[in-house]
Amino acid sequence: MLVQAGLLLAPQPMLVIGTELAAVNLIGLHLPLTFAYTYFVTRKAIRRTFPIYPFVTYTSCYCAGLIGAIALIMRAGWGMYLISASYMTVLVAVALNGWIILLGLGLAETAAKAETGRLPSSGTTP
């Protein structure tokens, strides 16, 4: 995400920005597509523990960014809108995923405390 912001802030011709953003979005597509391959093809992932919405969110965002980058290469100004929407959606998704992880950790600690009457040992004394 920061790489995209840095590329957009640097004064460059539209062809160069579009090419760089296309490369960044193709690299960004690698992770969600790898997870999708593991999830759907190899069936190594446990289906009950892997939510599908991050895959859909990140894949669609990086695809929108790639389409926007191709539009910039073709010198179409509307490509910047797709790149901006992609960037903001990924930014919000990352923040929400972090919040969900922290919420899950808090719920796990609460459940552990309810079972044992104390928090799991973390190496410190209360």
* Residue 60 included in any domain: yes
* Residue 92 included in any domain: yes
Predicted local confidence at residue 98, as pLDDT: 86
* Residue 124 included in any domain: no
Predicted local confidence at residue 97, as pLDDT: 85
Predicted local confidence at residue 38, as pLDDT: 79
Predicted local confidence at residue 65, as pLDDT: 93
**pLDDT less than 70: residues of the chain:** 43-50, 117-126
pTM for this prediction:
0.75
Q: At what angle do helices 14-36 and 79-116 cross, to 10 degrees?
A: 30
Predicted local confidence at residue 121, as pLDDT: 60
Query: What is the C-alpha separation between 92 and 61, in angstroms, rounded?
Result: 11
- Number of domains making up the chain: 1
pLDDT tens for 4-40 read: 888 888 888 989 999 999 999 999 999 888 888 877 7
Domain that holds residue 54: 2-116
* Residue 22 included in any domain: yes
* Residue 18 included in any domain: yes
For residues 71 and 18, the answer to whether their CB atoms sit within 8 Å is: yes
